[in-house]
Amino acid sequence: MTSQPWLGDACSLVDAFRKGELSPVEALDASYGAISRSELNAFCHLDEEAARTAAAAADVSLPFGGVPIAVKELDCVEGWPYSEASLVFEGRVADSTSTMVERLRGAGAVLAGQTTASEFGGVNCTHTKIHGTTRNPWNPERTPGGSSGGTAAAVAGGLIPIATGGDGGGSIRIPAGYVGMFGLKSTFGRIPRGPHTMQPPLTVTIGCISRSVRDTARWFDVCNGFDPRDTLSLPRVEGWETGLGGHLGELRGKRAAIHVDLGAAFVNPAVAEIVTAGAESLIADAGLERVDVSVSLPQAGFEWAMGNLVTLQASLGDLYPGCADLFTPEIMFGMNIATSQFNLVLAGANEKFRIAMNESMADLFEEVDFVFCATNPDVPFNASGPLPLSVGDRDLAAEFGIEKALGNNGALTMPANLTGNPAVTIPAGTLDGMPIGMQVIGKHHQEELLLDLAVVAERERPWPLVAPGYPV
């Protein structure tokens, strides 16, 4: 029996099961051993008895047959804790399982446990009052990002081969970029979010953080497709994994623009250099045509936050404001602004902003097929926060004020959430020993082209499947 967790991708683990080289029980036990030794604080709940029962009965002929997976704590598994990473809901237990997780379980996945997230998914740092600080396996003093920070740390730290994530403002792409993994934010509605789907603010997509492009493709094969409990979910699309690499000829001649900051963010010049070099190489390798177009998207942090805080207020109901002292400082800061400033006039202005953002993105994609930019403005910051107010040596708070400085966190990822465009983050290199992610934004419903671009990048410049030195 192996004592080491599987350090390849999830698809190769299924292959090993089918060849009889390893059993699902052995793989699960090895993951639990690594989790018990880990100081990353990536997990907040383990379901060992049920998982071992499932592993023993696993049908390895299924797409994820026997693969141990983790579920982000903002997702629901019946009978598991459902605190939304907040002391406000400490002790609450989920009474249903999400559609995505049910589909994964039906495809043979073994639900090993629950990964940590930022409180209510609202911050790109996984540090909460209920679970403490989650750490980046590339450097435990740094954050793995958020809100899917525990998922990112678990996959990159060698604890679990693949895990669920959600992306309402960058929460798959930001942490995947910070830990050197692959992350796809699909077209809005690609994977249904039911049951009990709260539709506003129409920014949230769900998926995974993975070690390989084919793992993500297989995940979408299993999980995509309309569900009536999410009335905005999209019809099913087949052939995500079998189609990988099948559009390389179609990529040739597609138009690509490189705008590292999107006109919306302040990016560390050293990060910009790495992303530009990675984008130029991928454009050449894929046979794209680089075009020079103007890209200047407005910083969307305030409007994004107001829309999301309205839905948080709806979730809290009569508990707010009496529960406010349980919030992390970042959530408290946002709620204070929202309750003091948000009104019908501002709500109308927010909708006008979204219309303008949609028009700007649509205009842009009439001229290009892909936009290359950074995933994050800088290298990962301190694991326990606070959110950075500077980039490199530049003090954004002193130049522009605290709200604009805070808005720089996520400024590169939020536009695709507001407009529903698909976007991927691909490992592009390292800076100061930390991963740098390159983001590619594409046209609606064209994830297959983004996946094939990532296949080219993965083939030409393979990235480490786990962080150096992990698991311990």
Identified catalytic residue from 147, 186, 212, 233: 147
Residue 348 neighbours by CB under 8 Å, 6+ apart: none
User: With contact defined as beta carbons under 8 Å apart, do 126 and 143 qualify?
Assistant: yes
User: With contact defined as beta carbons under 8 Å apart, do 251 and 236 qualify?
Assistant: no
The closest of 168, 240, 254, 181 to 212, measured between CA atoms, is 181
Cα distances from 349 to residues 18, 331, 345, 355, 408, in angstroms, run 56, 22, 6, 10, 21
Cα distances from 180 to residues 41, 119, 467, in angstroms, run 18, 23, 8
Identified catalytic residue from 31, 83, 118, 171: 171
Cα distances from 121 to residues 83, 128, 391, in angstroms, run 11, 11, 23
Neighbour-count burial of 360, counting CB atoms closer than 10 A to its CB (0-12 exposed, 13-18 middle, 19+ buried): middle
For the chain, the distance separating the N- and C-terminal CA atoms, rounded to the nearest angstrom, is 18
Identified catalytic residue from 23, 31, 72, 185: 72
147 belongs to the catalytic site: yes
User: With contact defined as beta carbons under 8 Å apart, do 217 and 191 qualify?
Assistant: no
Length of the chain equals: 472
Query: Which residue has 């435990």 as its token pair?
Result: 140
171 belongs to the catalytic site: yes
Positions annotated as catalytic residues are 72, 147, 171
